[in-house]
Amino acid sequence: MFLLDISNVNDVNSASNYLPIGIQLFFAIGFIGVMMGLSHVLGPKRNTTDKLQNFESGIESVGNARQPMAVKYFLVAILFVLFDVEIIFFYPYAVNFRELGWSGFGAVGMFVGFFLIGFYYILKKGALNWED
């Protein structure tokens, strides 16, 4: 028997419909807190000089970390994020393509067209050419 009888609930957006989600969220956060606390209390605490030394990816650091980096790296990263976010907009169309009909197809066609124009512009500007 359930503690909450939701068979008589007619309102889809009532607060009682979100109670299971709240309970699951409460238990998930509690579980994470308990596991982190247990690992802190029961875990080993040996602060040796080797353990306290800085390293990155298991490799000891050599030299200054403040070396200049190529702007191309950041440009490609920003372009990746930009085009990756644009691809997300295809999912609602894929889910609702039958209901959207030809007008939805035209809108997605324009979106793809603008997407390709932007990609062509990036290629013409040489933003993806690494050899300079």
Domain residues for 108?
66-132
Give the CATH number, domain containing residue 115. Answer: 1.20.58.1610
Domains in the chain, number = 2
For residues 72 and 128, state if they share a domain: yes
pTM over cut 0.85: no
pLDDT digits (tens, 9 = 90+) for 23-68: 999 999 999 999 999 999 998 888 888 777 776 676 666 777 677 7
Residue 55 counted as domain residue: no
For residues 24 and 82, state if they share a domain: no
For residues 70 and 37, state if they share a domain: no
Residue 54 counted as domain residue: no
Secondary structure of the chain in the HEC alphabet? CCCCCCCCCCCCCCHHHHHHHHHHHHHHHHHHHHHHHHHHHHCCCCCCCCCCCCEECCEECCCCCCCCCCHHHHHHHHHHHHHHHHHHCHHHHHHHHHHHHHHHHHHHHHHHHHHHHHHHHHHHHCCCCCCC
Residue 53 counted as domain residue: no
For residues 26 and 73, state if they share a domain: no
When pLDDT is averaged across residues 102-114 and rounded to a whole number, the result is: 90
- Give the pLDDT confidence score for residue 67 in this predicted structure: 76
Residue 5 counted as domain residue: yes
